[in-house]
Structure formats: structure tokens, C-alpha cells
Amino acid sequence: MSEKDMYIEGLQNLPAIMSSDESIQEKFANTFMEFLQLTHLYDSAIKVVSTYLDVLDSEFNYKFQRNPIHNIESRLKSPESIMNKLRKKGLPISVEAAQKNLLDLAGIRVTCYYISDIYSIADMLSRRDDFVMIKCKDYIRNPKPSGYRSYHMIINVPVYLSNQKKYAPVEIQIRTMAMDFWASLEHQLKYKPSAAITPEISQELKECAERIAQTDLQMQKIFMEINDLE
């Protein structure tokens, strides 16, 4: 989609901003273009991290004849979504407010084969000297009450533009295939419009997460035994 098309879509999806006052329309158009530039920055940051993860995965394959990463997915909030989120939070509709208050505009989900791979990838990301760690939460050792498990990081990523260097935060979720299986189904069930998640169902979902976690640990154990690792 071109910038022009994105701008038109933004106008159509934000009717509250529309006005017959040309000065208001011009102000909104300028603001929307600023948000397009912001999303370009964040998209570039996603590419920086994704490329580095690809490099790490290929290095693992070269050294150990296996790939630790099963899949990499990314997401980027649209200008419309960012403005709507700022509005819901009662914040100014500005790029400055978005950069200061929103850390989830760019995201990457890394799916690994084994739990040990998660910590290896997280360690290498944290040790890269041009990445700045903002926040880190280990929901594997400390699962959420729902049973959710994953390793979360938010890092500030440098993006080298034509005339300057800028930083953009990227939220990274690292999990095993088993963790991703549970999280994906739990999310689908939880957000189904007709769903009624009772305490009993929540407990069942948590028990499923526990069983899946045990399977993850067993597969890790088998992997280490086969490869003579301690």
C-alpha cells in the first residue's frame, strides 16, 4: 500500500477527525504523514532485529548443524492504530507522545525448538553492544497466573537513516513451539466474541499450560541426552 493509500484509509477510518475546515484537514494530513514516517522508522528497526536473528540462526547451523529458530514473525501498528491508542489513553495525538508512551508499536515473535534456545537467543540479543535493553520479563521461570509462558524483551534498536541515526524500541517475544501453540489457542478462545471464560475454563487452560510445559522440559531432556549435554 502506498503512502497516499494509507493516508486515504486513515481519513476514512478516523471520521471524528474529519472536518469541513481546511486548516483542520491540513493539520491532520501533516500529522498523519508524521506517523507514516514514524512507522517507517519502526519497520526499519524490525528489519534490523530480524536480520540479526537470521544471522544468528545461520551461525548456529554452521557451528552445530542445527537451527535454533523455527519461525520469526513481526507486526507493526499502523498510523491509524497508533493514533487510536493515544486517543484511548487520553494522550496527545503526536509522534512525540507515541515515542514516549508506547513501547509496543513494533514487535517480533521468535519461535524456538527448545527452552535452552530461548535463553541463548535472549543472551545474544542482550549482549549486542548497539542494542539498548529497556525491559525484560521471564514468563518461563515465572509464568503468568493464566499459565502463559514466554520470554519478553524490549530493546532500543539503532536505525541508520540517510542523514542520521535514530533509535526505536522493538518488543521481542521468544518462546518454544509448544508455548506458542498454547498461547495462540488461548488467545483465540479468549477473544472469541461469544466466548464465556469461566473460572473453571481458566483453570483447565492453566492445567493445559502446565502439561505442555512438562512436555517442553521432557523434550529438552531428550535433546540434551542425545547430544551428550549436561
**pTM for this prediction:** 0.85
CATH number (3.40.190.10, 2.40.240.20, 3.20.20.70, 3.30.460.10) of 3-226 reads 3.30.460.10
Residue predicted with more confidence, 71 or 189:
71
Distance CA 210, CA 85 (A): 34
Domain boundaries, the chain: 3-226
Per-residue pLDDT tens for 181-198? 999 999 888 876 666 778
Angle at alpha carbon of residue 167, lines to 30 and 74, rounded to 5°: 85
Per-residue pLDDT tens for 101-145? 999 999 999 999 999 999 999 999 999 999 999 999 999 999 999
Per-residue pLDDT tens for 113-124? 999 999 999 999
Quickly state the pLDDT bin for 24 (edges 50, 70, 90). low
Per DSSP, the three-state class of 172 is: strand
> Among candidates 143, 103, 139, which has minimal Cα distance to 119?
139
pLDDT of residue 4: 44
